[in-house]
Structure 1
């Protein structure tokens, strides 16, 4: 179910780049925690036979609740199934147990009860079901209080381009596995000028907006392109020129607020974090910064010196690395790589497929909210039968969405053929 830091090569903390800058020793607490590999590590592509079969029968109430839902949702198409169906058996048992506990207590929400979301909270609490449940419910409450759903649909950050001048950051391409790459140039941040064009509160909202976009659009788009489940990000922080002066009071507030949100409400979405161009000035700053980071995040951080390019190129193709990180890309037509938001999530054909899959999810959720709200958490055969009956009513709607998905595939095929004809 889990891999400790010693056993997981992918998440060993780097001892420094080949430039000679070694990494500071991590706090002792970080060595006693279980550190898990990315969720994608346990993805197994189903065989052709498995894709056509109904979901396997599970054990316990969690499975009874899960599998009717899973079999209906799997009818959306083999693409969605190929990215989600095959799971680690021990993880699946733990997720079913958490879902059962939430259901019995009348706290199972109609949204965010999918396998991978629940697994992320279980991992963050070392598979302590009660602790994971408490963390998950706080996540649901935070979404209500922060009005996250409304924010993700209607938030307008008009000052974005101005903000990027004084806080260079952005998504740019994917790593060799297919995960999105996020980059920040912390050594170039000018917080005083940043606060002249926005506020700390708006920047935090912008951060949450981008996190929602990553979960709802970037990961699904990367999954479609890679033809496998993608659920984590590779991050690069360029700290060249950063020092103690960068860690002012407003900077500490912004850092801790974002870190709190990411750790508590978007757990286990970081694959690796590379800190590059780490000089002597940053080492002093790092001693203060790491006190705000949880042990699992620390275990995924690689602090590198100036000779970081070989290590980055091990997992990222040069075509997906900006030139300032040793890559071949400039994105001059967008005013620079960090302004381009380059990635599969900007491919119109892939976006159309994501929208079809998202529409199917919304159809199911709306049906749940309108006709399947459970009055209490008592185990009641009548309620379970009503749940299965109502789910069956959505079948025709989902079949219509399947047709739309097939049409999208035809368009994509024609587009591919057209591109090949142009090349020849």
Structure 2
């Protein structure tokens, strides 16, 4: 492995030691166990329609159904047996407490919380419950549906940021140019509270649209983002009180409520001023996040090209893309999530999932009632068995008492005679 790539994997550019070099529990990329499963012959479901009825379906419909199933399998990925066991255990814990909304009952969501807590199930459960409470208090569902950030374009002029393309694995790329942020202008065109809501709405879009669209294009499960932070010109003067609030609030939200969605973060153009600032910033980050961050000076282009094809890398980062028709790469939101064909297919899959979720929710309610009834029956059976054991013990004691009484009676009769 050449030197540059070694630095990328485990350290800071320009030969400096990383601030995150302490030992940590670092797992493989979150998609590592979610590779497409090996193709297998379809198994006829019990009670499903026979071959003759399937042959009566139009060929185009059958092919489209098979394509959807194939894509769905690729998007879902292969489950690691040990991780699936942990997910099932966490799911049961939450179900017993009636704290498992159907929307977040899926394998991948629960696995993210388990991984964030090193598979400590009670800790993952506590984190998940806080996540559900936060969503209710912050009204996250309403934000993703109703929140309109009309000042988006004005904000991007004074805070350049945005999604642009995918890395070589297929993950979405997110870019920020912190050295070009004009915080005073930002606070004139929006408020910190609205910017935080905007950030949450973008996170929701990434989970619900960007990752699934990337999964369809890559034909494998995509569940995390590759991020690039250009900090050229950033120093202590940039770390004002509003900047500290924005950084800590967004970091808290991402770490606590969108865990395990960062694949890697590349901090580039780090000068001496930023390196001083980094010591203060890193104190706000957990060890797992720090392990994913790689800091580089000005020699970063070749390192980024190892991870990202030049066609997906903006020209200002050493790539070939300019997105002139959109007014620049950070205004384009370029990616498979804007491909009409992928979005149409995603809508079909989503509609089918919603229908299945509705059926599962209805059957789930019935199952929950049946489960509670079974628990009551089980409790009664246990109480009955315990009572039966006590009765048998009393009967044995009664028989022993009868024997003793007969012996005492015989003894008294002997004395009388």
Correspondence 1:153-168 to 2 at 5 A = 153-168=145-160
CA positional deviation for 1:173: 0.2
1:39 maps to which of 5, 30, 39 = 30
Tell me the distance in 1 between the aligned counterparts of 2:129 and 2:200: 18
Q: Name the residue aligned to 1:264.
A: 256
Aligned to 2:105: 113
Verify: 1:48 aligned to 2:43, yes or no.
no
Alignment of 1:350-389 (within 5 A): 350-367=342-359, 372-373=364-365, 379-380=371-372
Q: Distance in 1 between matches of 2:371 and 2:119?
A: 25
Contact 2:21 2:291 survives alignment (8 Å)? no
| Kept in 2: contact 1:152–1:213 (CA 8 A) | yes
Q: Which of 20, 24, 31 is the matching residue for 1:26?
A: 20
Which residue is 2:309 aligned to?
317
> Please, what TM-score do these two structures have when normalized by structure 1?
0.78
Match of residue 275 from structure 1: 267
Q: What is the aligned partner in structure 2 of residue 330 from structure 1? A: 322
- Say which SS state the counterpart of residue 32 (structure 2) adopts: helix
Say which structure, 1 or 2, has more relative contact order (CA 8 Å, 6+ apart). 1
Q: CA deviation at 1:140?
A: 1.2
Determine if the alignment matches structure 1 residue 141 to structure 2 residue 137.
Answer: no
Distance 1:290 1:52, change over 3 A: farther
* Structure 1 pair 207–280 and aligned structure 2 pair: CA distance change class (3 A): same
Return the alpha-carbon distance in structure 2 between the equivalents of residues 220 and 299 of structure 1: 26
Per-residue CA shift, 1:10-58, capped at 9, x if unaligned? 99754222xx262443375xx2x3111222111232222166577xxxx
Counterpart of 2:115 in structure 1 is 123
Provide Cα deviations, 1:249-282, integer angstroms capped at 9, x if missing partner.
0000000000000000100011100000011111
The reply to whether residue 15 of structure 1 matches residue 11 of structure 2 is yes
The Cα of 1:336 is off from its aligned counterpart by 0.5
Q: Does the 8 A contact of 2:77 with 2:220 survive in 1? A: no
3-state secondary structure, aligned to 2:91: helix
Per-residue deviation, 1:124: 0.6
Q: Pairwise CA RMSD of aligned residues?
A: 2.6
Summarize deviations over 1:344-374 as a string: whole Å, max 9, x none.
0010000011112222233344455567447
Alignment of 1:375-414 (within 5 A): 379-380=371-372
Counterpart of 2:415 in structure 1 is: none
TM-score by length of 2: 0.79
Per-residue deviation, 1:113: 1.0
Compared CA separation, residues 285 and 85, structure 1 to 2 (3 A): closer
Could you tell me which residue of structure 2 aligns to residue 396 of structure 1? none
**Native 8 Å contact 2:36 2:219 kept in 1:** no
2:184 equivalent to 1:188? no
Identify if the C-alpha distance between structure 1 residues 75 and 379 changes in structure 2 by more than 3 Å, giving closer, same or farther: farther
Deviation, structure 1 residue 88: 1.0
Distance (whole Å) between structure 2 residues aligned to residue 299 and residue 209 of structure 1: 26
Aligned-partner Cα distance in 2 for 1:90–1:159 = 46
| 244 and 215 in structure 1: CA distance in 2 versus 1, 3 angstrom threshold | same
In structure 2, C-alpha distance between the alignment counterparts of 1:11 and 1:41, rounded to whole Å: 22
Decide whether the 8 Å contact of 1:244 with 1:282 is kept in 2: yes
Task: Determine which structure has more spread, i.e. the larger CA radius of gyration.
Answer: 2
Q: Distance in 1 between matches of 2:238 and 2:193?
A: 19
CA distance in 1, matches of 2:246, 2:167: 27
Distance 1:12 1:377, change over 3 A: farther
Gapped regions of structure 2 (runs ≥ 5): 46-65, 376-417
Q: What is aligned with 2:414? A: none
* 2-structure distance, mates of 1:362, 1:128: 31
Flag structure 1 segments of 5+ consecutive residues without an equivalent.
Answer: 1-8, 55-73, 384-424
SS of equivalent to 2:102: coil
Looking at structure 1, the residues matched to 347 and 365 of structure 2 have their Cα atoms a distance apart, in angstroms, of 26
1:220 corresponding residue in structure 2: 212
- Alpha-carbon distance between aligned partners in 2 of 1:10 and 1:216, rounded to the nearest angstrom: 34
Deviations 1:171-210 (A, max 9, x none): 0000000000000001111111100000000000000000
The aligned residue for residue 240 of structure 2 is: 248
